């Protein structure tokens, strides 16, 4: 039943094309050093990736935008990096910044929900992308994409707004906020939660955003 008292009742849902166009517009018109998710150095992500994977591992950065994560991973000797984003412009910005080093990275322009490549990755990293999936249907599709593209024993590192005091919106879009329990409900039994914690991100304008980070290990699909 529709809850007409919900503050989101009047916001029509975007279709896939409108959703992609939203992100194209963000990267074509905004100074992304000023957007709320900007980080000069993605320190939390690097700490987790360095803890859970060696430089030989293959990493997919999901919804990488123009984050500095690939730059920093290359500096640290990681050489099997793929960056995916729904916005071609975002990836172009990153490629231009990296210059020649961009040839060392694989690039995929796609909605993560449509990801279909003929390979798997050892590590799946997602900062502030999964939280835009605010229907159970889309969350299940995301899980399905993850299952299809992660090696057995591979790790998924997912950070998004926390159900405990995290913002309700990101880039003007309503998000689904999570905690350990909601992540367990969605990702078990195929995934085991290895670690789960909250961390505050300070935005360029000095605000605080409470993130929930979840590290999951893929155990496979059992007897199927």
Ligand X SMILES: C[S@@+](CC[C@H](N)C(=O)[O-])C[C@H]1O[C@@H](n2cnc3c(N)ncnc32)[C@H](O)[C@@H]1O
- Residue 1 or 17 with smaller CB distance to ligand X: 17
> Rounded to the nearest whole angstrom, what is the least distance from the CB of residue 23 to ligand X in the complex?
4
Residue 133 DSSP SS3 = coil
> Rounded to the nearest whole angstrom, what is the least distance from the CB of residue 112 to ligand X in the complex?
4
**Distance, CA of 99 to CA of 92 (rounded, Å):** 10
- Residue 134 or 196 with smaller CB distance to ligand X: 134
> Rounded to the nearest whole angstrom, what is the least distance from the CB of residue 47 to ligand X in the complex?
14
> Rounded to the nearest whole angstrom, what is the least distance from the CB of residue 223 to ligand X in the complex?
31
> Rounded to the nearest whole angstrom, what is the least distance from the CB of residue 122 to ligand X in the complex?
19
- Residue 35 or 193 with smaller CB distance to ligand X: 35
Query: In the chain, what is the straight-line distance between the N-terminal and C-terminal CA atoms, in Å?
Result: 35
- Residue 132 or 213 with smaller CB distance to ligand X: 132
For residue 158, give the nearest of 217, 213, 82 by alpha carbon. Answer: 213
> Rounded to the nearest whole angstrom, what is the least distance from the CB of residue 83 to ligand X in the complex?
10
> Rounded to the nearest whole angstrom, what is the least distance from the CB of residue 19 to ligand X in the complex?
7
Q: What sign does the dihedral 37-218-192-123 (CA atoms) show?
A: negative
**Distance, CA of 217 to CA of 140 (rounded, Å):** 17
- Residue 36 or 219 with smaller CB distance to ligand X: 36
- Residue 57 or 127 with smaller CB distance to ligand X: 127
Contacts 24+ apart (CB under 8 A), 70-79: 70/94, 70/98, 70/105, 71/97, 71/98, 71/101, 72/41, 72/42, 72/46, 73/46, 73/49, 74/98, 74/101, 74/104, 74/105, 76/46, 76/50, 78/49, 79/55, 79/104
Q: Which residues contact 102 (CB under 8 A, 6 or more apart)?
A: 94, 95, 96
**Residue ranges that bind ligand X, judged by CB under 6 A:** 23, 37, 63-65, 67, 85-87, 90, 111-113, 127-129, 132, 170-171
Q: Which residues contact 192 (CB under 8 A, 6 or more apart)?
A: 216, 217, 219
- Residue 2 or 17 with smaller CB distance to ligand X: 17
């Amino acid at each position: 039943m529709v809850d007409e008292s919900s503050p989101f009742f009047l916001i029509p849902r975007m279709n896939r094309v409108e959703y992609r166009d939203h992100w194209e517009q963000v990267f074509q018109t905004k100074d992304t050093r000023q957007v709320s998710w900007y980080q000069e150095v993605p320190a939390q992500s690097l700490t987790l990736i360095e803890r859970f994977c060696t430089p030989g591992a293959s990493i997919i950065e999901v919804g990488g935008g123009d984050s500095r994560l690939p730059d920093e991973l290359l500096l640290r000797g990681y050489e099997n990096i793929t960056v995916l984003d729904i916005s071609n412009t975002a990836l172009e910005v990153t490629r231009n910044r990296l210059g020649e080093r961009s040839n060392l990275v694989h690039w995929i322009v796609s909605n993560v929900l449509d990801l279909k490549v003929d390979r798997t990755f050892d590590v799946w990293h997602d900062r502030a992308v999964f939280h835009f999936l605010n229907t159970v249907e889309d969350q299940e599709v995301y899980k399905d994409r993850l299952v299809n593209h992660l090696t057995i024993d591979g790790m998924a590192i997912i950070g998004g707004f926390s159900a405990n005091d995290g913002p309700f919106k990101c880039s003007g879009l309503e998000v689904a906020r999570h905690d350990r329990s909601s992540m367990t409900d969605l990702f078990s039994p195929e995934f085991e939660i290895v670690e789960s914690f909250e961390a505050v991100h300070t935005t360029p304008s000095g605000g605080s955003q409470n993130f929930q980070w979840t590290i999951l290990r893929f155990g496979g699909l059992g007897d199927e």
